[in-house]
Amino acid sequence: RKIDLRNNHKIVNEAQIPDKETAPKRPFLDTPPQPYSVFNQNELNDFYERKKYPYLIRFTYNFALKKRIIRGDLLEKAGLDEGKYWGFMELTNDQFACITKLGQIDKGLVVN
């Protein structure tokens, strides 16, 4: 008997656990990689052709802050607006620079 992590940690017979040779392949592995977007290709083309939005941003990397920044510092030191939606907001260059400084970001990771 073995514990199969794919089966919610239930104890199952070894014969029930597929090995690498017999396990079915996942269908997404056979498809070519696509960049991730919340929009489909037609919507992206439409945005570009109609110039509906002045900027389209593609995030390619994500990195953690070396030092966690508390909300008070974002309000007082970086000057973020408490009344705006924090999930998505425009930052000034000074606000962005302040956040990178407060978070102790390696300057080599930021491309301007």
Residue identified by tokens 């030191």 is 77
Higher-confidence residue of 51 and 99: namely 99
Backbone phi and psi for residue 4, each to the nearest 5 degrees, phi listed first: -100, 110
* DSSP string covering 5-24: GGGTTEEE-GGGS--TTTSP
Residue 1 has pLDDT above 70, yes or no: no
Residue identified by tokens 């990397």 is 61
Q: What is the pLDDT of residues 73-95, one digit of tens each?
A: 999 999 999 998 877 788 898 99
pTM of the model: 0.46
How many domains, in total, are found in the chain?
1
Domain that holds residue 92: 2-109
Give yes or no for a contact between 65 and 104, defined as CB atoms under 8 angstroms apart: yes
Give the H or E element holding residue 50.
helix 41-50
Q: What is the pLDDT of residues 23-69, one digit of tens each?
A: 555 554 455 556 666 778 888 778 778 876 666 555 555 677 889 89
